A = this chain, B = another copy of it.
Amino acid sequence: MQRRNEISIGTLANRTGLAVSAIRYYETQGLVAPERNAGGQRRFLRSDIRRLSFVMIAQKFGFTLDRIREVLGRLPQSRTPTAKDWTEISQDFRAELDEQIQALTRLRDKLDGCIGCGCLSLDRCALYNPDDVAADKGAGPRYLMGDQAVRPED
């Protein structure tokens, strides 16, 4: 007894290509918020197909689920998102993507400079500066090619 606009987790899995277990996990992460029917089973909206598809695309671009949840937060909660809503967040998304690609490109160009110099002189080595591309959240400073000039024999 699936009402017109409600779909089961299995149907959603088929439509998106995601595993049922992944969808349940996404619910725990606040990426979808299905209702429940009388028997306690999840009932998703058809619009969740698009929602999860967006999640998959964003992941393909390397975004974390946390970040994706933030982005999805910009969709209207009161009504089913329209094509226009999706277009809007996709555009913001595109902007971030452009930045990522540029950061990666800059880093690559720096590597070019480094190939030439062999990094024997850190003062001139562009890779020395730990900027660009998502600063790792990891502990401590992560500078590259040493913290002092690497001597020729190193």
| Residues in chain A within 8 A of chain B (CB atoms) | 5, 14-19, 46-47, 49-50, 53, 56-57, 60-62, 83, 86-87, 90-91, 93-94, 97-98, 100-101, 104-105, 107-108, 111-112, 114-116, 118-120, 127, 133, 139-148, 150-151, 153-154
Contact = CB atoms under 8 A, between A and B. Distances in A.
Contacts of A141: 17
A49 B146 contact: yes
In the complex, the count of this chain's copies comes to 2
A147 B154 CA distance: 55
Nearest to A134: B60
A81 B96 CA distance: 39
Contacts of A17: 140-144, 146-147
Contacts of A146: 15-17, 49, 53
B119 A154 contact: no
B142 A114 contact: no
User: Which of A91, A112, A144 is packed against the most chain B CB atoms within 10 Å?
Assistant: A144
Contact of A112 (B57, B94, B112, B148): B94
A118 B56 CA distance: 16
17 contacts: A14-B147, A15-B146, A15-B148, A17-B142, A17-B143, A47-B154, A49-B146, A49-B154, A50-B154, A53-B146, A57-B127, A61-B133, A87-B116, A94-B112, A98-B108, A100-B104, A101-B101
